[in-house]
Each structure stands twice: as C-alpha cells, then as structure tokens.
Structure 1
Amino acid sequence: MTKLSYLHEPGVLHNLAMRYELNEIYTYTGNILIAINPFQRLPHLYDTHMMEQYKGAGFGELSPHVFAVADVAYKAMMNEGKSNSILVSGESGAGKTETTKMLMRYLAYLGGRSGVEGRTVEQQVLESNPVLEAFGNAKTVRNNNSR
C-alpha cells in the first residue's frame, strides 16, 4: 500500500485484489494490518515454522502477517513493560474469530511451551476460547458464530 502513488479507493481495492489472487491475504497500511478472509484453510501460514520465522523479527522485515502484529505487542510488553491491545475489526464472516485464535496461538507460543496436565500453554489458551465466545458471540444470518 505504501508504494501506491495515490491512496484512493480504486487503487487500494485493486492492490488488495491482486494480493488476494496470489494468496497474500495480509497487507500493511503503515502499522495497520489488513486481512482478507480467504474462505479456505492456509495451514502453511500458521504452522510452527511460520511462528519461528516471525518470533523476534522486526516489524516489516517479513511479509505482512498477523504474527508480526502479535510479536510487536509481545515485545513491547516484555521489553518495555507496556500494556498493549490488538483490535480485530470487521463485518460478520470476515474472519475475526479465526484471526483472534491465531493471535492467541502465537502469543501462547511465545509465552512458553510448558503446561499442566501434559497440555501446553497454547492448548490451554485455545481451549478457553469457546467459553470466551459464549459471552460475546451470537448467531446471525451470515454467520453461526458472529461477534
């Protein structure tokens, strides 16, 4: 986006469409991450190898990714003691829940791998998600599990 000559709606939409066609579902606009729901599983984008790549990498060093946003927040919290928030916004069916799960998974991965009862911290955090969703989600016309 930063390479666009003019930041106007047709140019932005064309850029996002071109990236989407290449399965590049993430795009930066400054420090904001735009994610387009691919409506398909892209497991290679979220595996342990990908988490290792983004762990400690500088923002913008690697391709745009939800892990990069989480990593910036985690580093600020750990290195500077700063509280952080990550806002996940979008319409019903946009992929907010899945994006939040990926954020939680990555943060749990960074936070430690040892857990109780043989379960990792990551597993425990992700297992808490249905309880959290019960407080904030409802069925809508477009999505059975919407926020």
Structure 2
Amino acid sequence: MIYLAIGAAILWFLVGLGRGKAWSPRREWRFLSAGFALAAFAAAAYVGIRGAWEISIVLVILGLWLVTTARLNPAAPAAPSPPPQPSREMSLKEARSILGVGPDATPKEIKAAYNRLIRMAHPDKGGTTGLATQLNAARDRLLGG
C-alpha cells in the first residue's frame, strides 16, 4: 500500500513538472486531497473487512475531512484599487514646485523635467501611484492638457 502512495506522489510531481504552469499549492492540494480521501475510504473498507472497526471508523472520518477540504474554493483575489484622483485643481505654483521648474520654463523643459521624475516615480519602477498621479497632474496643468 505504501508503494502505491509513493508511486502516486512521484507521478503527481512529474505530471506537475510537465505541465509548465506555475505551481499553485491551493489547486494542487484539491487534487491531492481528493486522492488521499479515496485512499482513506479504500483503506477503511479493507480494514473494516479484516475486522478492525476502530481503525476503519478513523479512516472514514479522515476521508470525510479530506473530501470537505478538497471541495473548498479559494478566496477570490481582491481587485486592485484605482489610483487616487486629485480632489482639487492644482495651482500653477504647486505644479512648478512638483516638477521643479521655474515660472519661465518652456514646454520642452517641462516635458524633460516630467520625464526625468516619472522614470523614478512610476509604480512599475518602485514608485507610488500617488506620486505618479501628482506628476501627471502637474504636467497637465503646466502644459494645458
């Protein structure tokens, strides 16, 4: 019996490697739990026929528990929250301060300052969505877009 369990575990591992998908402990546990439940029920029947009713009852309870855990659905991942929207209109002085440009900056200088800052503050590069939103609002305010 132990050789069948070891063989099934090795087969499960090799099939999992061959699929090429990311390994998900939740999904894999469902299949493994169902297989162990079937094995527990088969062992309970075998032991019950042999006359060891106490062990058979324990195996049936174990099998029922495994069946219930195999049926549990994982919680759905939470939807990402939308980026914060500016609550009020940004003044020209605030926009210049955020981008670090003077009052006589040309559109080319404003774009260059924005590009330099957004490279560091973009959420994909480790920045925050709040800072990227402020930079976008400052650029739009100064360029009139």
Radius of gyration: which is bigger?
A: 2
Which structure features the higher share of strand residues?
Answer: 1
Report TM bin, short chain.
Answer: under 0.3
More helix by share: 2
* Greater RCO structure (CA 8 Å; 6+ sep): 2
The normalised TM-score by structure 2 is 0.26
